[in-house]
Amino acid sequence: MTSRWLVAGCRGQLGHALVERLTAHPDCEVVAAVDREELDLADPQAVATLFDGLASNPPDVAVNAAAFTQVDRCEREPEAAERGNAIAPRVLAEACEKCGIRLVHVSTDYVFSGDSKIAYREHDEPGPRSVYGRTKLAGEEQVLTTASDSLIVRTSWLFGRGRNFIASILAQAREQRAGHASGPLRVVDDQYGRPTYAHDLAEAIRYLVERGAQGIYHVANHGVATWWELARESLDAAGYEDLSVERIRTDELTVEAPRPLRSVLDCSKAEALGVKMRNWRDAVGAYLASSDYPILEERGIG
């Protein structure tokens, strides 16, 4: 039986991957894909109008992959962060509950403080330290209390089509190789997490929905890395083995939002249900070989 999907945030890294993977799956149909340019998810009337327009072919599942994810901007623009990360999920949850549509909401490792020496499980006490983390946690709470049968998927260190850490590091590497920049790249080596490829996460979300998962699940690629290790792996895989990367501490950075130092997610709950995520190093290789990363000369094509 074909399941019908609505994807909010379709131009983001995960949203793009969701539309691509769902469209390619024989048992899935994307009946609507919207982004913030077309729809203000925090506007109840706008969301109601969208759902009314889908009445003849309503979605079975709505995925909220939209968020205000620029963590430092969130510190400067807390009202915008609240609107995008807390109010919008509530509005979408209310509309889904009214129409009998199952809601999947994507959240983040930033809901945790990052102080734990062991990986965070779904039932562990949140302790966000940034505006971004606090507003994302508020969004989770709104969804869980408003939409029955909802699914919260927390993930971490996402990379895919568009702006992301790997693309930024490799852009800096190109500048160095072209002689437009000098000195070593500098990357923090005291923050730990689980890098996650958007396409792998998209497939895991489809699988969890198919299995009827409800509540909170942690989903990320297998293995733990620091940002330095992720940078080094990406550079080596893209042919920049000769470029050095200086290891620095978080306290050497000038940033507005506190970063969790160890926000590793325990994904055993999803794994017990059958979710299989490859190692993050393999995922980096897949990303660099895909159309999500369009720099042809770094893929051995140009």
Supply the residues annotated as catalytic: 132
Measured CA to CA in angstroms, residue 120 lies from 43, 127, 178, 272 at distances of 33, 11, 42, 16
- Nearest Cα to 269, choosing from 184, 189, 181, 151? 151
Cα separation, 173 vs 106, in Å, equals: 31
Query: In sequence order, what are the beta bridge partners of 185?
Result: 245
Q: Would you say 146 and 98 are in contact if contact means Cβ atoms under 8 Å apart?
A: no
Q: Which two tokens stand for residue 252?
A: 């050497």
Q: Which residues contact 109 (CB under 8 A, 6 or more apart)?
A: 120, 154, 155, 156, 157, 193, 194, 260, 263, 264, 265
Q: Which two tokens stand for residue 236?
A: 């080596």
DSSP state of 6: E
Helix (H, G, I), strand (E, B) or coil at 37: coil
Q: Would you say 248 and 186 are in contact if contact means Cβ atoms under 8 Å apart?
A: yes
